[in-house]
Structure 1
Amino acid sequence: MAFQTSKDTKYNQLVLSDITVIKELLTFRGSIDDTNFNQGACATNSLKMNTDVISLFADLDELIKKSLNEEQIKLLSYITKDYSNYTIAKILGIPVKTIGSRFNTICLKIKQENDRQWRKVTYINKLRLKTKICSKCREFLPATDEFFSLNNSSKDLFHSQCKKCKK
């Protein structure tokens, strides 16, 4: 069994499909995990964290990469480093009052990407639905109207790009 600290036990049953969990993990990340999500590093504090917590942060990092733009990642990096909203606003040149709503949007996008990835795996691995490769991102996705827009002129009735890429 992996070594477990008292701060780890708090995070054992957490899932990334809950916005409250995502907010807490991101807000208190600096005190839990000393890695920086946008550098793709493994947890350098791994001896102090169990594998479940490390895995949770690795999954969170992947969702961040897949769902956020550079501006959102920059804002998030300051939040995870425990900068005040005033300091973040000053650094980024944005109004202080927008920090909270932007953080909420970031957490929602992470949750939505987590849900999308969960549905993708379920549809492909459990339900064994047919797949289609997106011509832009090259990702294999379920050939459903949830992932691809309908296109009556196409042989398979779906556009070549997934909905996420067409945005």
Structure 2
Amino acid sequence: MAYQTAKDTKYQHLVLSDETVIKELLTFRGSIDDTMLNGSQGVCASNTLKMNTDVISLFADLDELIKKCLNEEQVELLEYIAKDYTNYKIGQLLGIPLKTVGRRFNTICHQIKQENDRQWRKVVYTKNLNLRTKSCSKCKERLPATDEFYSLNSSSKDLYHSQCKKCKK
């Protein structure tokens, strides 16, 4: 039988549906996670071994969300933030104004939260509520056949467009 310690319970409030948590994880990642943004998949690094398993799982989930919703430029910005570069230095490296660095970081955190919420709703709708699903013709992802995931199309047999809203953007 596994026992939960006080050390373990302090991580229970960390969820990827909270932008503040996402910002903190991304900002301080470099100081606590040697694997940084998929850099050493499958390899346990020195600082990683000291982390609580819940936090390790949280970083793994965070990496999956990053893969699903961010582009290369956004990932590069996150890598600089994790390396504790100043916003000024990041702006220089990316060739963008200082003010833009903070705005882009906020946008990234918001996108990650939105993708997390989308993935959570997808699971709830299909696994818990057993809603009908439909495969997107572009990304091939199987999603709940609802107006949250697909735009309405009155000329279609199932009343939804063939591409999900994310692909239609």
Deviation at 1:129, TM superposition (A): 0.2
Does the aligned pair in 1 maintain the 2:34–2:48 contact within 8 Å? no
- Post-superposition Cα deviations, 1:43-93, rounded to whole Å, max 9, x if no partner, equal 524421222111000000001111111111111110111111111111111
**Residue aligning to 1:18:** 18
How many correspondences in the alignment?
A: 166
Cα 1:105–1:161 change in 2 (3 A) is same
One-letter code aligned to 2:135: I
**Residue aligning to 2:60:** 58
* TM-score for both structures, normalised by structure 2: 0.90
**Residue aligning to 2:142:** 140
Q: 1:9-158 to 2 correspondence within 5 Å?
A: 10-39=10-39, 41-42=41-42, 43-44=44-45, 45-158=47-160
In structure 2, how many angstroms separate the alpha carbons of the residues matched to 1:30 and 1:143?
A: 40
Greater Cα shift, 72-81 or 123-132: 72-81
Helix, strand or coil at the partner of 1:28: helix
Instruction: Structure 1 unaligned segments of length 5 or more: list them.
Output: none
One-letter code aligned to 1:33: D
In structure 1, how many angstroms separate the alpha carbons of the residues matched to 2:52 and 2:19?
A: 23
In structure 2, how many angstroms separate the alpha carbons of the residues matched to 1:16 and 1:148?
A: 24
In structure 2, how many angstroms separate the alpha carbons of the residues matched to 1:39 and 1:84?
A: 21
In structure 2, how many angstroms separate the alpha carbons of the residues matched to 1:12 and 1:34?
A: 22
Deviation at 1:39, TM superposition (A): 3.5
Cα 1:149–1:17 change in 2 (3 A) is same
One-letter code aligned to 1:73: V
In structure 2, how many angstroms separate the alpha carbons of the residues matched to 1:70 and 1:115?
A: 22
Greater Cα shift, 124-133 or 42-51: 42-51
In structure 2, how many angstroms separate the alpha carbons of the residues matched to 1:159 and 1:138?
A: 13
Deviation at 1:114, TM superposition (A): 0.4
